[in-house]
Structure 1
Amino acid sequence: MLQNEGLRQVHDMLVPHDDQSTQPSEFVPHLFYSLYQIRKDPSNSNQLETSTGFIKHRLKNCKSLIATNEDCRNLLSKSVEEWQQDIRNKEKELEVKRKMLDDLGKRLQVFKERK
């Protein structure tokens, strides 16, 4: 599950719930279907507004959540390349810490053997 509360709220708003009784339809496929229907019958352009009204409402709520949550803004402000670099940096940091712990463990073992 998402650890960031703001992103969890955005996720819950955009993705169907596991609970079958309150499961909304995913809005991205719904949007594509609405666009397909309009392309099929251009005279019924009112259908797009009707079909996608809930999408606009959800996106507006998501935008509001992101705007009011600094952690969300920081997480979402990075590009994919920046995230890849951050991940590589974190992996390097973890490797250094793992090596330090291994070295400390070996020193403790040597210390115990001397006693």
Structure 2
Amino acid sequence: MLQNEGLRQVHAMLVPEQEQGTQSSEFIPHLFYSLYQIRKDPSNANQLENSTGFIRHRLKNCKSLIANNEECRNLLSKSAEEWQEHIRSREKELMVKRKMLDDLGKRLEQLKTP
């Protein structure tokens, strides 16, 4: 589960959980279906308005949630390259910590054996 409350709310808005046996309308499939309908009949203005209304409403709410949450803005402000570098850095830190724990475990085993 997402640790950031703001991102958790955005996720819940875009991918709502199934409610007691009723099928919810997930955002991404709805988006693709709307685009398909628009492409199939681009001249139908009512269909365009109906198809995009749901999408605009969800995106507007997500934008508002993100704008009002500083932690969300900080998380989403990094580029893909910056995140890759951050991940590499964290992996290096974890490897160092794992090695320290392994070394500590070996020392404890040596102390146990007479």
Class of the TM-score when normalised by the shorter of the 2 chains: 0.7 to 0.9
1:43 aligns with 2:46: no
Shift of 1:4: 1.2
Pair 53,21 (structure 1): closer, same or farther in 2 beyond 3 Å: farther
Q: Deviation digits for residues 16-43 of structure 1, max 9, x if unmatched?
A: 3132456431233323322322332233
Unaligned runs of 5+ in 2: none
For normalisation by structure 1, the TM-score amounts to: 0.80
C-alpha displacement at 1:73, in angstroms?
Answer: 1.1
Aligned to 2:84: 84
SS at 1:54 equivalent: helix
Aligned length: 114
Taking structure 2 as the reference length, the TM-score comes to: 0.81
Q: Which runs of 5+ in 1 are unaligned?
A: none
Going from structure 1 to structure 2, the CA distance change for 1:25 and 1:80 (only over 3 Å counts) comes to same
- Identity level (%): 80
SS in 2 for 1:16: coil
- Matched to 1:34, the amino acid is S
CA contact (8 A) 1:16 1:24 kept: yes
Residue 15 of structure 1: CA displacement? 0.5
* Alpha-carbon distance in 2 for matches of 1:104, 1:56: 55
How is 1:31-110 mapped onto 2 (pairs within 5 angstroms)?
31-110=31-110
AA at the equivalent of 1:72:
C
**Partner Cα separation in structure 2 for residue 42 and residue 113 of structure 1:** 78
CA RMSD in angstroms, aligned pairs only: 2.2
Q: Which moved more, 1:21-30 or 1:43-52?
A: 21-30
Of Structure 1 and Structure 2, which has the larger fraction of its residues in helix? 1
Equivalence for 1:4: 4
